[in-house]
Structure 1
Amino acid sequence: MTFLLVCLCGGLGAVARFVLNTSIQRWWNRLFPLSTFVINVIATFCAGVAAAAFAHQVVAESTYLLFVTGFLGGFSTFSTAINEMVSLGRNRHFVTFAVYLLLTIVVPVLCVAAGWMVGSLGD
């Protein structure tokens, strides 16, 4: 049953990613891949909140598993970010490549930390 619920939550995460990605791309027509970046920032912040909630026993392990492995696993898209970086490099957009690489590594780490702090506020 857990397997099916993780699959369902992953599907919901993928649909949410598709909707948000499409919405951002409708008005953002610049070189920087903003939609993937925003999606991964949201996902890492939520993962931090979820990790803190689980660590402080606010949510059950099954809820954590469904949300993080299922929903956020389907929502976040690190592989797309890497593919976009490679594409930027191949097309010789080296400054955008470097900025995107740096932001894609640093900002999500900060988001997880911020999410953890928010998720720990009740303690």
Structure 2
Amino acid sequence: MTPLLYVLIGPAAAAGAIVRYGIDRAITARTQRFGLGIVVTNVLACFLMGLTWQAWAGHGAAWALIATGFLGGMSTFSTAVLDAAVEIRSRPRISLALIALGLAACIGAFVAGAWLMRG
């Protein structure tokens, strides 16, 4: 990897984080469901990661910018866990289900994206 690629990964990650924030805010504003926006964003990022993995894994710069940069910034397991932790006292079952279903959906989305790209 070149030094320029290291510099470009940062803005790609920032762009992914901005997309994550926008999707989360839009879904939360419409549904009033705390945590749902992050789950949806993570599932979408995992689906896109599956597509990307099949298309560009091992292709250096494209892989690094899209997978590590943009999609790495877009997805966030730590925020999903934080959302569940905030809600766990008032709604423990829903919080635990959010984590479990979110993880299962992310794995399924990744597999679906990879399968779709493999064709």
**Structure 1 length as normaliser, TM-score?**
0.87
Residue 67 of structure 2: aligned partner: 68
Establish whether residue 84 from structure 1 lines up as the match of residue 83 from structure 2: yes
Unpaired segments of 5 or more residues in structure 2?
Answer: none
Structure 1 stretches lacking a partner, 5+ long: none
Task: Return the offset for 1:24.
Answer: 1.2
AA in 2 matched with 1:6: I
Matched, 1:112 2:110: yes
- How far residue 92 of structure 1 moved from its aligned partner, in angstroms, is 3.5
Distance 1:77 1:98 in 2: 17
2:23 is the alignment partner of 1:20? yes
Query: Is the aligned partner of 1:42 residue 2:40?
Result: no
Superposition misfits of 4+ residues, deviation over 6 angstroms: none
Q: For residue 100 of structure 1, what is the aligned residue in structure 2? A: 98
- Report the Cα offset of residue 66 of structure 1: 0.3
Distance 2:44 2:117 in 1: 14
Shift of 1:37: 0.5
TM-score, reference length from structure 2: 0.89
Deviations 1:53-90 (A, max 9, x none): 125x7xx321011001000111111100011122222x
DSSP 3-state at the match of 2:110: helix
Candidates 4, 9, 21, aligned match of 1:6: 9
Within 2, Cα distance between the matches of 1:20 and 1:30?
13
Q: For residues 87 and 77 of structure 2, what CA distance do their matches in structure 1 show?
A: 15
